[in-house]
Structure 1
Amino acid sequence: MKPLNLVINAFGPFAGRQEVDFSTLDDLGLYLVAGDTGSGKTSIFDALVFALYGTVPGVRGNDLAGIRSHFADPGTTTKVTLEFVIGGDRWRVERMPTQERLKKKGEGTTKINAKATLEHWDGGAWDEVASGKNPVDKRVEELLGLDDKQFSQVVLLPQGGFQKVLLAKKEDREGLLRTLFASLGYKKAADYLKEEATRLRSEASTARAVREKAEASVAVQWADALQGLADLGEETDLVFTEWPVVLDENDEGSAMHDISGRMGHLEGAKNSIEKVLGLAEKKSETAEKAHRKLTTEAEKFTQKVELELKLAEFAASEENAKLDQKRHKEGVKAAPVVEALDELKLATQGLVSAQNANQTQEQTLVAVGLASKEVPKETKVAQGLSLTWARRQAECQTAAENLEAANDLRQNHEDLLGEVASGLEEAEDLEQGLKEAAAESKDLQKDLAAAEDARAGLVEMQKASQAAQEKFSDAGALLTAQGKVKKAEVFAVSAAKKLAKAQKSATQCQEQQRKNWAGHLAQEALVNGESCPVCGAEEHPSPAPLADGGADEALAKAESDQQSAATAQGAAQASLHAAQEFLVEAKKKVKTGNRELSEVVVELENSANEAQDLLNEVQELADGYQSLKVEADRAEASKRADEKKQTDVLAEAKNLQSSAKQKDTEATKMQKKVDDAVGPGADPAALTDQAAAIGEALSGLLDTLQAQQVAEGEQRVGQKTVDQALSASPFKNSDGARAAFVPGDKLAELGEALESRSRALALAEGQLAGLKGAPKDCPDIEAATVLLEQAREYVEGLQKAFTTVDERKRSFSQAVDSAKETAAQGAALQKEADLVERVDKTCRGTGAGSNRSLESWVLARFLKEVAVEASVRLRKMSSGQYGFVVRTTDDEGKADPLRMDIDDHYSGTTRQVSSLSGGEQFMASLSLALGLADTVQRRNGGLRIECLFVDEGFGSLDPATLDLAIDTLVGLRDEGRTVGLISHVEGVKGRIDLGLEVKKSDNQGSRIVVPKR
């Protein structure tokens, strides 16, 4: 798997869009990711992991809501996009976390749910393969063969973490390895088992208490059942079999013993009650039938007596009923006569009222202006006069409207004359404005011509300014080159001096070492009587003395200093050569003549500034061309519009003068029509009102005349109706009819009462005829009632007893079932608690035959696998000298399954890691980190991850050890992998190519800078 391109938006410390092109870093092989502490170097790796898995490694991933950049614009969406290659196939994954973003419309924020897409490049376009968090998570794990934790172990080499493990104390080692091997799940599992064991033991204890309580409840329910049977025996004549009493409740006397026998005992009592209840219910039914028969005979006797009394009452009221029948008959005949008399009275009153109204209306006519002799007395005359006055009203109304029209025409004439005056005044103002516009247009055309000239010369002016700037820049570069040459010459001289000093020191140390060898030879090799290997003498009166110790170390340091000085001198010479070449090139571009370079620089700077000022001035004129052109066009258009408006205003004034004259002529004609209609000086409106009042009064008079005619006719019809009604009745005159008259509601009540009495009499006679078999004397039912009540009470008592025993039996049965259920639950809980406790002790290493926890055992097994892979790496890095040994005990023989030592093949011994040098410890920890990556990849199908990151771990290394560490990382590059070294150590920056640099600011977040190559 190889990443190609990573795009980060509003993620972690990065406020905006950041892009990392891994293809350019592949060319470097080994590159540096630099930046200050806290700038966000590791966040690049976090973004890569988030794009693939939607998680962030380590504790940084505990709060995914916090991965959104605090520096991002509120409207920017947090997302990460990664392109990568697996087996020649190109993939692209994009993820967004759940986040709050500003609404695009309106105020406030909106929640965006997490999104994820995975696409495959088919050669011409991206094809979506999966969408949504879970489908993309699953497909990515299938492609890589690793989950997020395994991927982090493989890609981000934790060599610093392994260095801590190698040097850690026994009690700290397991916690460090837990983080590196991601084995926290085993510890959590063990902790969960411990909590489960505690919880289940507590629940089992609670279940035992519940079971004991349930069994106690069974005993209580059984005692209640027995006591209930005893109480029923005392309250009724029932006899039950006694249950044997056992004093020791711990044997078969326990309520949980012989449950079927106890249930049978209660069922037998129920059966006994049920048998007696059946006999009692039959006796109760017999008593019920006898009681119903006597009750029926008693009801017939009572009904017969009541009917006989009612018929006697009817006989007593017979005479009154006959009088009422006569009164009702005469009242029915008098009703139409009285009704006709009442209608005649109303008609007479209506006639008098109509006559009064007609007289009042005649008085109104006179009051509104009609002469009394002209007031009509007949309907036809009133109709003719009403039409005459209606025509007069219309004529006056027309005259009034004509007068109003004449007045309006005069007002229009005055208004038009005022508009004519305003139009002429406006025309004068427009004339003055046209003169001013002509002057403004002339000035604008002049400015426009100047701007157009500036546009024409702008390109040449820009070229001249650019040429002056380039000359000034070349002069400045020449001045800088001279300074660099001088500085490089100083460095070269200093480096040469340091090299000579280092060479002298090395020579002295070599001489001292030779003296030391001579001293050792004198002490160890010279023996009296034997020849000296140097001079051949057999006697050795003055052997060379032993030199001071430390010569080897001093020589090694001197040679190292000499090598460093030689390297520094070479670098200084190279820097001087480069500076001299740069100076030659700079001199070609600048001609100083006999003047000082500083004078030329000042002169060229002034020329460049003057050219820029002139360019700015011309640029400003040129930039203003368009606005001037628009303004000139606007002024010309405004002038033409004002000229047209002036012409239109004068023409309109002329038209208005003609209209005013026409309105005056029309007003004179209209006034003549008014005078002809109502006479000169008359008020048409007043005459119209008078005509309208007379017309309205005539209309009212016409109504009263017609109403009087109708009333007279109704009075004549009413009198005729009365005469006809009297002739048809038995009454001689109206007074006789009124004397026999009964009001309608009372007449109806009287008729209904007579009808009701007749029906009731017939009903009573019929009912009495139907009771011929009724007893002569009333039967006595009190004795039957007493017997019936006694039978019912006995049945109810037996039913209550049956219900009581049945309820006690059910309660006892339910208590037994509950006790059995709680006992079964308690046994199951206890069994589960015992099992979980055994597993818990085994996982924590506290059980029988176990002295290691599950996590420790897993870590030890995995550590051995990693050690095998790491030993291969370490032997290669150390030229076959070192390998790893996983120990199970410490030096005192105590258990220590997570200890690692170094197998030194050169000396054939096993060494502690602390005995290694700093560089060797770095190789060991890096080997373990690579071994972990190799083990994880091997366990998951062997997928090769071609991009690695090494995070820090260089801050405490000396220069020599740092060289060894970098050489080791170069070896990884030679394996065909791209290695990114995350570090802020200054000593690393000069030795590894800078691939990426993360720069941060206080309030704008961080940004990724890719240096130019």
Structure 2
Amino acid sequence: MRPLRLDLEGFGAFARHASVDFSDVELFAITGPTGSGKTTLLDAMTFALYGETPRMGRKGLKALLHPGTKKAWVQLVFRLGDEVWRVTRVIAGKTEARLERQLGAEWQLSSASEKVKTLNAAVERLLGLDYDAFTRAILLPQGRFDAFLKGDSRERRELLFSLYGLAGLAELRERAVARLGELRERLAAAQQRAEVYRDASEAAVEAAREELRGLREERGRLAGEIERLEKEVRRLDELAELWQEKARLQARRQALAAETGRMTEVEGWLERARAAEKALPEVLRLEEARARLAKQERELEKLESAYRAISTKWEKHNEAFDEGELEDLRGRVATLPLLEAKARTLAVLGGAEGPGPAAAYDERAYREAEERLRALRERQRAAAEAERLRKRRDELARRREELAGELRQKKAALENLTAEGKRAADEVEKLRARYEEEQKRASVAAYRHLLEPGKPCPLCLQEVGRLPEGTEVGPLARLEEALRAKQAELQELRGQWSETSGEAKGIERQIAELEKQLALLEGDLKRLEAGAPVEVEELAELEQRLAAMRRGLAQEVAGQTGGQEPGAYARALRERLARLEKQAREGERLRRQAEEASVALRAARERRQALAEALAPLEESVAALLQQLGFASAAEVAPARRSPEELAQLEAQLARWREERGYVEKRLEEVGRLLEDKPRIEPAELEQKKAQLTGLGQRRAELESRLGAAEERLERLERDLQRRREAEKEAAELVQKVGVWEQLAEDLKGHKFPDYLLERLQLDMLARASELLFTLSQHRYRFRLTDGVYHVEDLWTGAVRPAKTLSGGETFLASLSLALSLSEHLSRGRLGALFLDEGFGTLDAEALELAAEVLEALPTQGRMVGVVTHVPELAQRMPARLVVEKAPQGSQVRWET
């Protein structure tokens, strides 16, 4: 299983939608501040797959909701072999779940999505891992990192059986026994079938073949006799049929001759109908011309009435309309824009406030005075702003001096911490050298009881000259304790130095910022102080001049409107003009309508004259045509017509009569030639021949029945013989298979074979884990497996002890080695991902460096390895980093390479 994409919203620290694309990463770190939601991402994947999390289980799912939301959802897309699956879970009141498989560009919903319980079981079947196996082999969560190392051996055995696919071996023997029973049943059935077909032999088959050959020869002789008699019967049948046909044709010729008179009448009807069809178009055209003339006369009457009505309305409108008043109003309205412009100017200037003298308004002079007044007021505001900036400059200068003093103190503290750090580092190196020397002595002294002077050493096989001096454990332990204390002191000094250095850099940044602000203030002050002082008398004189021009403009506007408000005055003029213009448009419309009615009336009169002139020659031509076709008047044309169906029926009737009469005459002639010199056939002679043929047919049917029985008997004997041979062959093969499966069932008794396979696989996995632990522990520890319990061998002391006795940091290194080895071992199968979620913060600098090197050198081979850490040094070593950022509105994630 390899994750491809994770989406979540309202889950844990992620109030808003967050999405993580894992498709193109292998080794990466998940990093961010404490509480940002790093572990929440792993909880989301576990919840999507199994509906529970290591921290909350299944019962505390509501606690996974972000405090500001009432609904959370998680969606995980992952790959299994060549298939891509998507599982979605929602927390809202009750948990909802959905499992889908990708088919091309579409997602197909799995039937397991109907219930959460069935979906959970489907996910376990897909992954081949239950929840406990997943959290021990793929996702190692906080608080459970060492569960595989220190866990119960029985549970670990069951987990490894599941991971390595050995659980099926327990069922393999049952399948072997069932297969053996099935083979034995098949063997008995094959032997029974061979016994059933014991009568089928080569001799019986050959006898049946000989009998079949004799029957087939007899059938050939009978077939020749039947063929000769059939030809004779067919010849007699054909002659009898010709004599009968001749009699039928003679009777039909007499019947057709009797219908000759009626067919002549039908032919007359057809000719009259064809003449009517020729006359009909001209008759219809004449009727249509008369109808058009009548219609045109009615239309002419309507147009004359409409013309009289519109002419009357136009005359009444002209009497009531005054064209002079309209022209006067248009002139007055044309001056309104200038008046409105003056009114808008007066409104913009603020009106003519207060009493006082009035002056003529001059726009240019007004704008110049106004601009001068604005400049004087701006200089007043600049003087006030300059005073404020001088006070701000003095405040910033005082703050700069204070920060400069703090910076000098921090730099002095850094110098002291640097000196103390160098001293502590020298002491650590000296203590480490003494400790390593003492440790080597202690390691050699640990084998002192195995050495004897004059005998070979069991390790190097060299002769022992003298025994090494013994050593006490106390000094070594005190050196180790002193070394750890001094390392802790050095680490504390480094932390103080980093903190003080950061504070000093912060003060330097503040000073630089103050310098920028002071430079800007000095520039602003120079610009503000460069202006000339303001004259108060000039200000007052400018304000009085502007007010006088505003009063003059107000008097001019009032004189034009007669004291009326300018807007109301303009609206009244425009409304009156609109009414008069509307009346003018109405008059123009009536005039156009009268002209159009006059034109239409003239055109209608001309059309009526043209139609009347064209009707006379048409009437003459139609009368001539009717006379030519034999009609006395146009009224006779319609009754003479026939419908197309009736015409077709009469023509077909006449054609059939003629065709049949011709056929009967021709066929009588042909039959007469065929019967020339041919005698009449007697019915008794023909019946005798047919009786003989029937008897031969019965003999052939009996022979065919005997022949079919013989063929069936031969086929059955051949089939039974083949089945007997197949049954005997199958029985022989099944005897061999039964022997093989009996041996396999015997070999699979008990648990020896599964335990043997598990031991070999576990030793292979522990060998790789030992290599990793040997590197991470600086060549001190290796793994040992004793009675299913994990032990570690201390190469410094030679002792082998249970893994539970390791310290916190050593436990983490051992668990990390096991996790990486197990993931590598199984990555060739179903495990395509590994997530580590704790422990790196417990390591010292050297162990952390070794862990980083091991992770960097890890052969991913398409497998994804994610490390959750808040240690910056480790995160920076990873090829990619998934950064989790904490914010009040919810955490977000981003990739960083």
Does TM-score exceed 0.5, indicating one fold?
no
Bigger radius of gyration, 1 or 2?
1
Q: TM-score, with normalisation over the residues of structure 2?
A: 0.44
